[in-house]
Structures are given as C-alpha cells and as structure tokens.
A and B are shown apart, each in its own frame.
Chain A
Amino acid sequence: MKKIINIYLPVLIAFVFAACEDVVNVKLEQGPKQLVVDGWITDRIIPDTITLSTTAAYFENQSTPKVSGAKVVLSNNEGVTEKLTEVKPGKYLVQTIKSKVGGKYTLTIEFEGENYEAKTEAMRSGLRLDSLTYEFKKKSAFIEEEGYVVKMSGQELEGKGDSYRFKIMKNGVYLKQDLRYWNDDYVDGKYLKDVEFRDQKPFALGDKVSVETYSITKDAYHFFDEMDKQIHNGGLFANPPANVRTNIKNVNPNSSKKAVGYFGASLVTTIEGVVK
C-alpha cells in the first residue's frame, strides 16, 4: 500500500504544480573506506558467489574497488565449513554449501587485519507462483511508455512472517537496478491473482519473462526496504536520508572499522513465460 502512495503522490504533485528537478554541483566530504559485502547463497544449481568491495567517494563515478585476497569462510549448522576461493577480483565462489529450509549460515571475512562475521538463515518459500499474465497498457498521464506489464498469480502459504525478493529477467537478462521485495503482512495465506509488478519498463510481445522468487528473512526485508528508501530519497514526503542496515559485524566490537552490505540465504523458485 505504501508503494502505491509512493507512486501516485509524485505524479500528483508534478501534475498540479510545476515541480522541477535538475542536477546540481555539491561538494561532499569523503568518508573512510569500509568493507562492503554483497552475498547470497541459494539452493540453485548455478554456483553462488560472495562479492567483496569497499566504499568509495560518492562522486567517484566508476565501479567501487573490489577486495582481493581476503580470507572468506562459510559454514552451516550441519558442521560443514568451506573456504571460498576468489574466482574473479572480489568474487568468492561457494562450492559445497547450499541453502536449505531452516539452515543457518555464518560467513567470516578477514580483511586488512580485521575479522568480520555475518549470520543468516534460510526461510521457507512462502509464495508459490503458478502463472504469469500480461496486460497491454496504453500511454497515459500515469504510464510513460506503452507496452505489456507482467502480473503474477500464486498461493501465499498460511503463517505470517514470509518475505520475498523478486528478480525479473527479460530475454535472459536481469532488469537493471531492479529492487522488488514484499512480505505477507497484508496477504497472509491468500491466493494472489494477477498482482501487477509496478514500476517496470514495459515488455513487448514475444519477450521471454522469468520471475525468480527468493525467500528472505524479515531482517533482509528491512534491508531492502531501507535501501529502497535511501536510493529513492527525493520528493515532498521523503524520509530523512539514513544509512541502510547491515548484518556484517566486526568481531571486535571496539574496532573503529565497520562494514556494510548484506549476507543472506534464500530458497529460489522460478517461473517463466512469454508475453502474449
């Protein structure tokens, strides 16, 4: 519901008043470098990787530096421990451990003499999508570009607390800067029929669509929610800019070195279709 407000209010404001946006020059200080972890393990056959990088000046305008040569160890609650090998600069490959319902996972990273740790858990897949449908939408005051939107249908499982992240692929390529997350707060146990993926660039007839549903923890849901708020921070009713939470902790709580980012574990279901 909040999403809906976020979509309509800016339209409304822009519609009623001549609000205008332009890019301006701002001088910013540069903060100290911090470790950034972006890693998800799944139950998919394709191997998972953990990406390590560092923060950079906000206006650096190039990809942030990758962290090479860190010692990265993953373990689960069944006593399995594996040291991840760096396959590309900053990319560490997970070879044996896979997500399982209820599985608990710990990631440890040794970087520049500091030890970091992240703990997570794999939740059940609470949403079983069974079909995708498509609707053609004409250009209008609220729709920038005409074309097909994708809608999903499926059963949400009974029992509150399910959260998900969706990733959408168009003709085999993930949509860019695509951040979609949801929880069952208002729809627990319901059959969802033709729920539209909002805010998407329209699809064309014949496009191949694939929707991946990742089960995530409530904490990961808040991570994505805070990230969404932080990256969409304009407008009359923006929340105050605030750092996004992280589950990466320095093992030494007294150290001034901190890390950001997220380590999570998901079960993934995929549904595919063709726009028709």
Chain B
Amino acid sequence: MKRVLPKLLLNLTLAIFILSSSAAQHQKGQVTISGTVKDASNGENLIGVSVCIKETGKGGQTNAYGFYSLSLPPGKYTMVIKYLSYHNFEQSISLSANQQLNIELQPEGVQMTEVVVSAAGAKQNVRSMEMGVNKLEIKSLKNIPALMGEVDIVRSLQLLPGVSTVGEGASGFNVRGGGVDQNLILLDESPVYNSSHLFGFFSVFDPDAVKDVKLIKGGIPAMYGGRLSSILDVRMKEGNDKTFSSSGGIGTVSTRFMVEAPIVKDKGSFVIAGRRSYADLFLKLSPDKDLRNNQAYFYDLSGKMNYTLNENNRIYLSGYFGRDVFNFNKQFQMNWGNGTGTLRWNHVFNSRLFANITGIYSLYDYSLGVPEGANAFDWRSKIINNTLKTDFSYYINSNNKLSFGSNIIFHLFKPGEAAPSNDSSPLNPIKIDYQHARESSAYLDNEQTITSNFSAQYGLRVSMFDYVSGKDGFTTYQYEGVTGEKKNAVNPQTYNKGDLIKRYVNLEPRLSLKYELNNDASIKASYNRTTQYLHLISNTSAASPLDVWQPTTNNIQPELADQVALGFFKNFNNDVFEASVEGFYKKMQNQIDYINGAQLFLNQNLEAELLYGDGRAFGLEFFLKKNQGKMTGWMSYTLSKSERKVDGINNNLYYNTKYDKTHNLSLVGMYDLNKRWNLSATFTYSTGVSTTFPNSRYEIGDIIVPHNTTDSRNNYRVPAYNRLDVSATLYSRVKSGRKFNSNWVFSVYNLYGRKNAYTVYFRQNKDIPTQTEAVRLAILGGAVPSVSYNFNF
C-alpha cells in the first residue's frame, strides 16, 4: 500500500490543478452542459450514446457510466440524441452558465423492433475515433443461433473480423494473430482469467447479467494495458431502479434466473443473476450406479448494486463467482472457477471532470484429485490479484477530452500444490514456491478535434512490473544449456521478504488519427504498443483449465507488441449499411513456447522448459453490417497470417501459429418474419488450423512412432472448417397491460452435421499393428438441436 498512496496523491494533485485551471477555461467564454443518459424504463446508464448539438454539428459520447459533458459558447441550442432502439430525443437548451441535464431515453417497443447489431449511434462507425472496435449488444446476441441455446458472448465474438479460435470447444479466442492469453477480459473492470465453462464450450458470462460488450483489437487507448492483443470490456447491468423486474430461461444445458429491483427508487438498485447447468441431474435417474454417483455441472452467480448518494457521487458494488465441477464416482474430481469483486466510486468533481476510483479483487483457481484409494491426492493452483485504480476524464473544452489515471495490481501466484489426501496414499506432498509481483501503471491520453474533419487521440502509458520475494523468501535461478532442450538451473540466488528481484519499466505510446472525407466516410490510422507481464503456460492444442499463469520473472521477459492499423470506414443508404476495411501489422516480442516433451505442471524449474521468440501477424479485415430494416446482420471476412519464430523450434525459422487462419468468413443474418417470429442464421468458413504431420515412421519394439525428419512445426493444415447454424424465435403475443413476456428459441447448431476436424492425428491400427492411419477428431460431429424457453416480467 505504501506505493499506492503517493500515486493517489499525485492524481489528486493533478485533479486539483486541473480544477483550478478549469476556472480559467470558463473565462474563455465557454460553458458546459453535462449529465447522464439513462434508459427511462429501467434507469440503466447508457454507454456510448452520441450527444449532439444540432447547430454546431458537434457532440460527444457518454462514457461507461453514461456521463457526458459538452462545452459551448453561451447561447440557445438544440440537443439531439440518437441511439438505436431508443426514441430520438430532442430538447432546446438555453445555456448561460454551466448546466446539468440528465436525460432518460424511451426505449422503442420492447420486442419485435429491428434487431440491433450495434448500440452505436448512426454515424459512430465513421465519426468516432475508434478503430478495430466491435460492440455487441446482448439483445442481438440473443437472436443469433447458439450452441445448445446458450447465448454466448465469447462464441459470438468469433463471428467478428480478426477473431478466431483453434477449434470447437476450445477455450477463449484469438485476436489478430495473438494467443488466448493475450486478451484482457474485463468483467466490470475486473480481469477474468478463464472465460470458459466446460473447457471451452460455453462462456462464463451470464447473458442476463450483461449490459454491454466491447472488443478492442487495435488503436487501444492508453487507459487499457496489461495484455498484448485485445481488450474485451464486459459491463454488467446496474439493475432496474424504477421497478422490480425479472427474467429467466430454461435451456437444453442450463437454467437461468435474474431479478432486479430498486433499493430506493431512482437512487439505487440491485441485480442478481444465476445460472446452473442441469444435465447431471438426469444422471441420477441412470440405472448404472457408477453414472448415478457422478457430478458434472457448472454454475455462475453475478450480482451488482449501485446507489446514487447525490448528484455527484455514485457507488457500485459488483461481484461474480462461477465454477465448473466434475466428480466421477469418487475416482476423480476436478473443479475450477473465477471470482471477481469490484467496488467503485463515481465522482463528478464538476461539469467537466469525472472521476472513477475502483478497488478490484480477482481470482482463478482449480483443484483436482483422486479422493479415495491407493493413489489419493489433491492438487491445487490459484492466482489472486488485488487492484486499486483511478481514472479521470476531463472535458477540457469542446475540442479536447483528457483522460488520465493510474493503477496498481498486487499479484499472488500459487502455481501448484499437491498432497496425499489420505494416509494410505504414498504420494509425497509437493509445493511449488508462491510468486509475488506488483504491476503498476499510469496513463495520460487526449482526444483532440484538430479541425472539423481531423481528430487525433494520443497518449502514453507507463507500466512497471516488480517481481518481488514473498514473506518466506525466494530463490531464483539462471538456466544454462542447449536451446531446445531442458536447461539446468544454476546460480541460485536467495532473496528475503519484500526484496525486489527484478524490475521492468515500459513506455507504451498510443496514437489514433481520424480524417473525415465527408459525412459518410472516414480514414483512420493507429499505432499502439502494448506490454504483457502475465503469461499463460499452455502447451496443448486448446488452453486447458489446468494451465497456470506465470508472472514475468528474472528469466521470463515481458511480452511486447507493436501494432499499426489503417482503416477506411463508410456508411451508405442513410446509415442503413456500415462498412469498414482495416489492415493491420503486429509485431510481438518475447513470446513463450516450449521444448519438446516439456513438463509444465508441478515443476519448480518450469523456466528450464521454456523457449522464447518473436511473433508477427498481419491481415485485412472486411466488415459490412446492416443495422436497420426487417433483415439485419453482418458479413465479416478476414485475410490474415500469424507466425512465430522461436529458437529451438522449426529449425529456428518462422512457422504458422496453431490459430493462423488464412481465410475467416462469417455471415450473420436475422430476419423479422412477422410480429411473432424472428429467424436467424450464421455461416462460418475458415481455413483449417495448422498442425504437424509426419513424413516417416519407425518402430520401437512393436510400437510405430510417427516422425518428421525435417523437424518442422505446423507444416500442414487440417481440412477447412465450415458450419451453418439456424434458429427461430417465437415471441408471445404482446398484450397491453401485461408485463409477462416470453419466447421460445429453437435452434440447430451445425445444421448439415459437418464433421469439422478439430485435429487430424496419427496412430497405429489396433487390430493390424503394422498398419497406420490418420484419424480425424470432430468435437461436434453432428447437428445439435436445442430448444429454450425464456421469459421476463
């Protein structure tokens, strides 16, 4: 904590400095109108709403808490707010001094209006500084066909340009040629370390509790840091502060229930949402005793409350807890899950200075073991971090918006501890040393309108990572030996409690430029450097829940990435269509790979098994979206390449990453057939993932071993992937005065039952031992139909 306080003080001083200087700004003849924009039906703050002044054509956007601030010369104006799926808002304002105006937008008909693909305002695509950004609205996600009817944020992301996955049921997602651990997944600002339930089939976010999802792939603003490739910013609902409401659903896999209600009307509210899979309950009916005794389920629980103390102060408390549990007849058990907690204070210093102070707790842990018998053991691993952060937005004048802030994260890693779980077990207890680190950063970022059609956003983030010794002291090693083989630990060095082992400081410049060619088209360019100090140690085709996060150490260097991107953005047909083309090039340093046969679990000298190298990725992304009308949806196509060059692999030459996909196409269509039926379909096509095929075989005893004499990595690809999903939603009749609404969703995943290869591997035929064969593994090899029922009242 000692180190946090000076930073906080620094921030506060800065704030005060700006406050006083803001008085000076006033004299320049500008006044400010500010406030929040909310949904009139439930009081939810609306994020990213364009607030415009008709007369000047200028405006701004609400921030993540619905706050906006506009500075203008005194006078009479018309304020216009357009937000898809809400009624337009227009109000005359007469500005003579600073003024506060809180606005509530009336939603259009609750159902059966056009499906909204993006919450963005009509011209946002062209006018905002953002590039490489995609927003998903939960409302639209609910109409996209989902695997087993489970509305899934992470799977939906995979339909966007620049996003790919290593296969069906694989955990996480890959952005612009980056690894799954290079995405910063934030749930109400708290990092989530594993975004998957059931290995990778479902994501951990309960759609009923989520309000807004934003994926940032490029032009990453300075306020974000800590991962190389992307930011997935998931915001939870705040809860209805007008009236009690609830929703829920029964699906093929899980049941959900959510309630929200005011604590004090218009002042405070809460929301609680829970979800549990229930397939295992049917196991209890099984005649097989071994099956009856099994458990296999996941659940998650999300909650949030907020309270508005007064016009200028609001407090939020949110939490998430989710878990997957497996238990096989007492022979084997395994469970894992994330937990997060966020306490936040929004403070409006004045009409132009908005502050946010947040405390965050996040953990990920797993345990597995054999509960009984001769081999009984229990194995655990955990990562915990505590964060304190401050973020300020200062609306300097109509042309400049300054953001600044700082944060510090205390990391604790417990990579693995295993112990016998009964007296008869012969296993010796083992404990890998805990690791401690402090990650701190500060940033300054300005969004500036330079001319009426040219804007820039520029900023700098400074990050610092301290690898420190815990209370029991710590011993570090250096590693010597042949690259590509297991190295030897040498030169042990011991440290005492709190000693600094190694410090890294990195400067991360960020720049975005936008030039508006006309009302409907713009060109944007960006550069960003990002640094990553945490690394997921995973050497399997898909990341597994047992993979361990590892800090940057005296041996493991921070990962660095530099990305440049250039894009063209255009709206046409009166903003009915939005289109963009973006090209990117990304260079990554200090990427981690593994020696052949690496032992990554319960290994005190894990670093002896690691290899380091560079990565590069480049690509072109095409996106066309239709926002309005009976038929909505989008087309996304990505042409890209992602490679790595690691000493000790592939003869030290560049090789394709597993998730390198030359072509990646997604088509998403939703159609309102009539007042009650909505039909939708998605089609995806992508190049098969890279893998290594043998070019010869040899015999050891009676075992045939596949071998590649060229020592190459990822020299082949599995067959291309394609899949069509369809769904139909039937809404209940809308009756005036009735609050209860429901719908049925019928869907078929993988409609034509294609056996998409997850891997192709090689094996000896069981019956004819001299014969060898290539085997295709399809994780979902058939069509998967499902029905779910959803309601709200």
Contacts and interface: CB of A to CB of B under 8 A. Distances in A.
A60 B695 CA distance: 11
Interface stretch (B257-265, B405-413, B619-627, B772-780): B772-780
B776 A261 contact: no
15 contacts: A5-B368, A16-B198, A19-B778, A19-B781, A22-B778, A56-B697, A142-B290, A187-B426, A189-B428, A225-B597, A230-B706, A231-B706, A232-B763, A241-B691, A242-B596
Interface string B683-721: 000000001111111111111111111110110100000
B329 interface: yes
B199 A236 contact: yes
Interface in B726-773: 755, 757-764, 769-773
Nearest to A244: B705
Interface string A169-210: 000000011010000001111111111100000000000000
Contact of A63 (B540, B758, B770): B770
Q: Which of A4, A15, A38, A258 has the most CB of B within 10 A?
A: A4
Interface string A22-54: 111110111111101010000000000000011
A240 B784 CA distance: 29
Nearest to B703: A177
Interface of B: 169-170, 198-201, 279, 288, 290-291, 294, 296, 326, 328-329, 331-332, 334, 368, 370, 374-375, 377, 379, 418, 424, 426-428, 430, 486, 539-542, 544, 546, 596-597, 601-602, 658, 691-711, 713-714, 716, 755, 757-764, 769-782, 784
A140 B300 CA distance: 31
A238 to B, nearest CB: 5
A3 to B, nearest CB: 10
Contact of B694 (A15, A16, A17, A28): A28
Contacts of A34: 696, 698, 707, 709
A71 interface: no
A21 B781 CA distance: 8
Contacts of A191: 426
Contacts of A235: 541, 759, 777
A62 interface: yes
Contacts of B776: 21-24
Interface string A73-99: 000000000000000000000000000
Contacts of A245: 596-597
Contacts of B760: 24, 26
Nearest to B326: A12
B699 A53 contact: yes
Contacts of A214: none
Contacts of B707: 31, 34, 55, 243-244, 260
Contacts of A195: 374-375, 426
Contacts of A192: 374, 426
A189 B486 CA distance: 25
Contacts of A19: 777-781
Given A19-B779, A30-B695, A240-B691, 11 more contacts: A16-B296, A26-B760, A28-B693, A57-B696, A140-B290, A177-B769, A193-B426, A195-B426, A227-B703, A240-B658, A241-B761
A100 interface: no
Contact of B374 (A17, A18, A38, A151): A151
Contacts of B763: 231-234
Contact of B755 (A22, A60, A64, A244): A22
Contacts of A156: 426
Contact of B692 (A13, A20, A24, A242): A242
Q: Which of B368, B696, B755, B757 has the most CB of A within 10 A?
A: B696
Contact of A55 (B201, B658, B696): B696
B374 A20 contact: no
A212 interface: no
Given A24-B760, A38-B701, A186-B430, A243 B290 contact: no
The 5 closest A-B pairs by CB, nearest first: A31-B709, A31-B695, A20-B781, A190-B426, A140-B290
Contacts of A179: 703
B697 A57 contact: yes
B173 to A, nearest CB: 16
Contact of B540 (A177, A194, A238): A238
Contacts of A249: none
Interface string A246-262: 00000000000010111
Chain A interface size band reads: 35 or more
A18 B762 contact: no
Given A1-B379, A243-B596, A245-B596, A18 B782 contact: yes
Contact of B764 (A29, A60, A177, A239): A177
A28 B695 contact: yes
A231 B769 CA distance: 13
Contacts of A32: 709
Contacts of A231: 703-706, 763-764
Contacts of A260: 698, 705, 707
Given A13-B199, A196-B374, A231-B705, A23 B698 contact: no
B422 to A, nearest CB: 11
Q: Which of A231, A243, A260 has the most CB of B within 10 A?
A: A243
B240 to A, nearest CB: 36
Contacts of B334: 8
Contact of A31 (B377, B424, B430, B710): B710
B372 to A, nearest CB: 12
B652 to A, nearest CB: 15
Contact of A61 (B201, B761, B762, B772): B772
Contacts of B169: 13, 17, 236
Q: Which of B424, B486, B544, B773 has the most CB of A within 10 A?
A: B773
A75 B393 CA distance: 78
A222 B424 contact: no
A244 B711 CA distance: 10
A238 B541 contact: yes
Q: Which of A1, A54, A176, A225 has the most CB of B within 10 A?
A: A1
B709 A258 contact: yes
A186 B200 CA distance: 30
A34 B25 CA distance: 79
Nearest to A218: B486
A245 B199 CA distance: 31
Q: Which of B703, B755, B769 has the most CB of A within 10 A?
A: B703
B766 to A, nearest CB: 8
Nearest to A3: B375
Given A5-B546, A34-B709, A227 B692 contact: no
A63 B775 contact: no
A230 B653 CA distance: 22
Nearest to B782: A18
B596 A237 contact: no
B3 to A, nearest CB: 39
Contacts of A12: 296, 326, 328
A61 to B, nearest CB: 5
Interface in A126-153: 140-142, 151
Contacts of A193: 374, 424, 426
A237 B696 contact: no
Contact of A23 (B279, B757, B774, B782): B774
Contact of A2 (B601, B755, B774): B601
Contacts of B170: 236
B785 to A, nearest CB: 12
Given A58-B772, A240-B541, A261 B761 contact: no
Contacts of B200: 236
Q: Which of B426, B704, B710 has the most CB of A within 10 A?
A: B426
A119 interface: no
B779 A17 contact: yes
Contacts of A24: 757, 760, 774-776
Nearest to A225: B597
Nearest to B538: A237
A34 B332 CA distance: 43
Given A226-B597, A236-B199, A187 B705 contact: no
